[in-house]
Homo-oligomer: A and B are copies of this chain.
Amino acid sequence: MNPSKISVFAPGLIGGSVALASSHFFPKATLAVWTRRSESLPPLRAALPKAEVGTEPGLARSSDLVVLAAPPAVLPELVRSILPYLSPSTLVTDVSSVKESVEKSVAPLLQGRARWIGSHPMAGSENSGLGAARTGLFQNAPVILTPTASTASTTTRDASSFWQALGARILTMSPESHDEQVARISHLPHLISSALVLAAGKKSLPLAGPGYRDTTRIAAGPSELWSEILLENRREILAALKDFRSSMDALASALDQKDPQSLQKILDEAAGIRRNLSPSS
């Protein structure tokens, strides 16, 4: 995909990084960035001096690609506002970390009006907002595309090519499979990380070593955003939590019964799985 105009709507951490990376990797394309709040315009102009920035949905006009980075709950309203400025060849995607509900709320609105596919860049941070955005956020990050039966293969191909240009590696799966797997690899860790912080409390913080730092880093993330993400994917997260509980119970019972063989066996199984993950890709 070689877009001549890219629009980014709602530039926080992810959207802002998409805008920065687009401006870096597609230097010849026109970049338009929309924000809901006029107070955000001065920092946007400072971060992206060559972009058209504004609060009017008409910024989407003539775009080859529109990236919607707003929270899932406001996506339908945002999509309706830009409909007049889309053409059937415009590629529209999002960056939400839940996909089945977004697919249901957004795809029907865009049918016949634009080419739609869901995207989920797995490149968060405990920081949020435009100030935390950076050009390299997607380097080696997994980006999951969620085509459905009605997605044209050229749409998937063009979305892949865009994210790959930003440095990402692409995975493709159905919205349902996405939500199930992401519940386990991203949402459950967030929930658990928060519970760990609460169990340790404030008193022991001066003792924190790298183990505590790493396991709880994401718990410092924006609670409003995370509350929304977790609720959107609650069914899958509760299923994942069931499996988590049974592993935790097995560990607790080995401890309770002073059973080094069982304890080491469970720890070993986890270590074996975790070591499949390369350190830096």
User: Interface of A with B (CB < 8 Å)?
Assistant: 122-125, 141-142, 144, 171, 181-182, 184-186, 188-224, 226-228, 230-231, 234, 237-238, 240-241, 243-244, 247-248, 251-252, 255-256, 258, 260, 263-264, 266-271, 273-277
Contacts and interface: CB of A to CB of B under 8 A. Distances in A.
A214 B205 CA distance: 18
Nearest to A257: B234
A263 B207 CA distance: 28
Contact of A194 (B144, B218, B247): B247
Contacts of A181: 203-204, 207
Given A258-B234, A266-B198, A205 B247 contact: no
Contacts of A144: 207
A42 to B, nearest CB: 26
B122 A209 contact: yes
B234 A255 contact: yes
A68 B7 CA distance: 61
A160 B71 CA distance: 50
8 contacts: A142-B209, A182-B207, A184-B201, A186-B211, A189-B211, A195-B248, A199-B243, A220-B271
A125 B210 contact: yes
A136 to B, nearest CB: 13
B215 A234 contact: no
| For the complex of A and B, 4 pairs with smallest distance between CB atoms | A122-B209, A223-B267, A199-B244, A194-B270
Contact of A267 (B185, B209, B226, B266): B226
A274 B197 contact: yes
Given A218-B215, A255-B230, A198 B238 contact: no
Given A142-B208, A209-B142, A198 B263 contact: no
